[in-house]
Structure 1
Amino acid sequence: MPFQIDRLRFGPAGIPNSAKKRNVIEGIKRVKELGLDAMELEFVRGVRMSEEKAREAGKVARELDVVLTAHAPYYVNLASPEEEKRKRSIEYIVQSAKVLHAAGGWSVVFHPGWYMKKAPSVVYKRIRDALAEVVERVKELGLDVWIRPETMELKSKFGSLDEVIKLSQEFDIVLPCVDFAHLRYREGWNSKEEFRAVLEKLEKELGRFALDNMHIHVSGIKLDKHGTHLNLEESDMRWKELLEVLKEFNVKGVLISESPNLEEDAVMMKKYWYQLSIFTPAG
């Protein structure tokens, strides 16, 4: 079972833009300099980090108290009707988990797949069966990381909140990655009441444990046909209200900024979280 996180930690999706050198170790050091305490390894174009390099990065992360997560390649489609593509998708997730485990990391997030005009129930079964293979491989290899299907923005993609919760109920090392920008786009949820409803549903369906081990993505989002990411202050995302609700529920885990400015929004959110911590009694 992956390790327990002590608080809600904040970090960027990838190496900070302000890092002097574009490598993971320098990225981790820059994260620490900024007062952040998490970083997502972006394997979105492929897993190009060796396990040896991952171990080196993990040593630095442990020394600096930075929790590492990872984002599996965008090419994943566990719903593909083509066996070769499905197998490759499984391998992408397992490889991401292997490298993250070598780095002493915590949680691997992936985009589950596309409906491709198939019935949601058919796609769910396909994805569940493929995920069962992922889970089996991860356990066989002794990889202590969470496997996280992400809530997705487009309605043509598998990944409603209900769907990722249902998958999480089927496997003990699977929990959702809740992308609040994607839920803003997909469902229109952008109010304190709706953020609260998300957390209430998670707690009801998966238990308090899910709120103590959350993997969260936050950014602004443009309501165009692609769901383009925006910086928080350039969007209508009610991020302060979101953080207030996360504080209300005493959420723990990792919150990753996927805004284009990466670390700037992560720092802004952590500062606001700290303000809330001063004025709100601990739950």
Structure 2
Amino acid sequence: MLHLPPNIYKSIKLKSISTPNRKMDKLRFGTAGIPTCTKGDTIQGIKDIRKLGLDSFELEFVHSINIKPEKAEEVRKAAKDADVVLTCHSPYFINLNSEDKKKFHASISYIVNSAKILSLCNGWSVCFHAGYYQKQSPEKVYEKIKEGIKEIVSKVKEFDKNIWIRPEISGKKSQFGDLNETIKLSNDVEQVMPCIDFSHFFARDTGKHNTYDEFKAILETIEKKLGKEAINNMHIHVAGIEYGDKGEKNHLDLEESKFNYKDLMKALKEFKVKGVLISESPSIEQNALLMQKTFSKL
């Protein structure tokens, strides 16, 4: 079933309200959505993030864009007061390689509407799963998805020239979005950087990219092809993960997974990575705190 964006977002008229692209002061750790300990809404979740000692928070729009414009100002204030950097994850039902024009343009709208709300919240970075290969050549799919992302950036620039648009490394082999594809999009389209999901990369290649040297190689590739700016402005996802022959199956807590988060923290520390690292494990805040503690002790 096609989920069309609600009409409310079509009427939002925004000026560019964000401050110039925020320079990240450090690597900030946070959760994908409201912490499990929170008894309340997004605003309470942001306050709890600060109480936990974390400092970033990903708005989960994966099933719907669930923050209305009138609520965004409250979210913006809560994040500012708590010194919490906001990102968002656009809906899962996006496919910028859809042959159905209606679905293609709906996918564009989902990402633009996510960016509109995040901009009202003074957020920093929008990530999304770009699409599926659908038995087509990767080269053909790349061009179609690039066309969609160019249109997204053009629309987003009308209200915010500072928010990052980030295609994410995907976890399944059937999905568009390996490291090289996301880096190439970042070089080809302005205002685009990759969302580096190290756990997805591990699952996508069925257990590779899971040692200290392999993590270093990923970061070296990013720095070589996108420059130091990419290392200073990383949007990262990490979770424990189970995989099979086709890639990702489901997320796990880090302690239940073979994903080598300790060596990842070591590599991130060595490269002096700055930005946001979002925990997507089921125990989201516990694993965010585990990674933060591991990182800070190095």
TM-score (norm 2): 0.91
**Structure 1 position 20 matched with structure 2 position 39:** yes
Offset of residue 142 of structure 1: 2.7
CA change 1:15–1:143 in 2 (3 A) is farther
* Contact 1:97 1:143 (8 Å CA) reproduced: no
Corresponding position of 1:40: 58
* Contact 1:98 1:143 (8 Å CA) reproduced: no
**Structure 1 position 31 matched with structure 2 position 49:** yes
Offset of residue 255 of structure 1: 0.1
1:249-273: per-residue Cα shift (whole Å, max 9, x none)?
0000000000001000001111111
Unmatched segments (≥5 aa) in structure 1: 277-283
**Structure 1 position 180 matched with structure 2 position 202:** no
Which of the residues 94, 97, 101 maps onto 1:76? Answer: 94
* Contact 1:177 1:214 (8 Å CA) reproduced: yes
Corresponding position of 1:67: 85
Alignment of 1:40-59 (within 5 A): 40-59=58-77
**Structure 1 position 250 matched with structure 2 position 269:** no
Corresponding position of 1:120: 138
User: Partner of 1:190: helix, strand, or coil?
Assistant: coil
Alignment of 1:179-198 (within 5 A): 179-187=197-205, 188-198=208-218
Corresponding position of 1:263: 285
**Structure 1 position 274 matched with structure 2 position 293:** no
Letter matched to residue 276 of structure 2: V
* Contact 1:101 1:143 (8 Å CA) reproduced: no
Distance 2:233 2:189 in 1: 15
Offset of residue 143 of structure 1: 5.0
Which of the residues 245, 263, 279 maps onto 1:241? Answer: 263
Aligned length: 275
User: Partner of 2:25: helix, strand, or coil?
Assistant: coil
Distance 1:177 1:170 in 2: 16
Letter matched to residue 167 of structure 1: L
Which of the residues 183, 207, 210 maps onto 2:230? Answer: 210
Which of the residues 181, 202, 221 maps onto 1:201? Answer: 221
Provide the identity percentage: 50
TM-score (norm 1): 0.95
1:175-215: per-residue Cα shift (whole Å, max 9, x none)?
00000100101122100111001000000000010000000
Corresponding position of 2:147: 129
* Contact 1:101 1:144 (8 Å CA) reproduced: no
* Contact 1:67 1:106 (8 Å CA) reproduced: yes
The worse-fitting range, judged by mean Cα deviation, of 226-235 and 160-169 is: 226-235
Runs of 4+ in 1 over 4 A off after TM superposition: none
Offset of residue 58 of structure 1: 1.0
Offset of residue 227 of structure 1: 2.3
Which of the residues 15, 30, 35 maps onto 1:11? Answer: 30
Corresponding position of 1:232: 254
Unmatched segments (≥5 aa) in structure 2: 1-19
Q: Provide the aligned C-alpha RMSD in A.
A: 1.0
Distance 1:210 1:16 in 2: 28
User: Partner of 1:117: helix, strand, or coil?
Assistant: coil
Distance 2:189 2:55 in 1: 28
Corresponding position of 1:2: 21
Corresponding position of 1:222: 242
Distance 1:245 1:86 in 2: 38
Letter matched to residue 138 of structure 1: V
